[in-house]
Structure 1
């Protein structure tokens, strides 16, 4: 039975991770009941991921916990196993602070990760290794909370978003990504037809990048991710359906 190195084949890091949410003017939400305090709403979503001949089911959920704490989680069915990914963070006044991140892949345990953020000391530590905590001189995010901060940056933008840098924690490393707006267009996917913002996420000097499509009228919800390596697409994630703030996502 083949073993799929999921973390390399699926563009989580531009879901980097990433990936997210964005653009040129504030969208008119299709969610009028949202409280002003929280510009994002809880959701449940189902995606299909295609990579190297595999088709995988990905379930994603954002839920609000006590107070201003939130949790974003992924569960992906791979063969007869589940790959689980979870991020907890606080959200206040449009700013996100990661608290913890967990990645558990039974098919490739060397890729597992458990990050613990210390907002007071401005550090983060990879608990699966014996390395010392990393000092965070600037705002930093794990693979999932990164996507949420992207959404917040576009939802709360005071001026047009064209390009921005983000720092991500990847195990014992800090990595810098660029996200830039390419174009607005209509995209047709399994979940329907949507007005979308098309983005490019990449690390300067690297031959990998990810294209990201976000639903302009649905809190810049992630519609599709397509990762490229050496000029060719090697994986794709596409939304099948979603319930946002209790309402099914609907197309134009």
Structure 2
């Protein structure tokens, strides 16, 4: 019997809304590694929600190649960490892995803050006030990440010369920040951060995924709800 945790040719199903949000980095990991994943949008999330481990999505189901073993994972961060180890995107040693985890954790915190305090708020006045409040946190994120990237040689990666989950998360965060303040990240002020984004965005398998009708539908729905793709 094969073990899903040691396989990269398993069958994967990702359950999430038909938008980007917290499912986007997971779908990106699959796309980068050229791994097929079946994206499932719940027909009735209110009914299915109580049946899930924590009442949240995304949810990942993985079935081994021989079909005899299945595992289920919940929580986006746990899914991210599981997949990047499986696909070799967690660093080459424990030291690199901890550097990566530190920056990913900080990015996740900022993402959650932005989602909870901005994109789920409907009052325009409150949204405007939040942008002013969040800019300080964004500035810290930009400076600390740019510093690490420059220290690593401004080569488009957080550690060494290899793609990791830190790169993927940063590329996603750049778009999120620019949706709030377009000139917060520029070629002149943050060239190392933009190098990460262009490095991730130019991966052929990711480019191919983003050209699909499925991805475009997620992006359009995301834009209709939150104002960014």
Q: State the TM-score, normalized to the length of structure 2.
A: 0.31
Normalized per residue, the structure richer in strand is 1
Larger helix percent: 2
Larger radius of gyration: 2
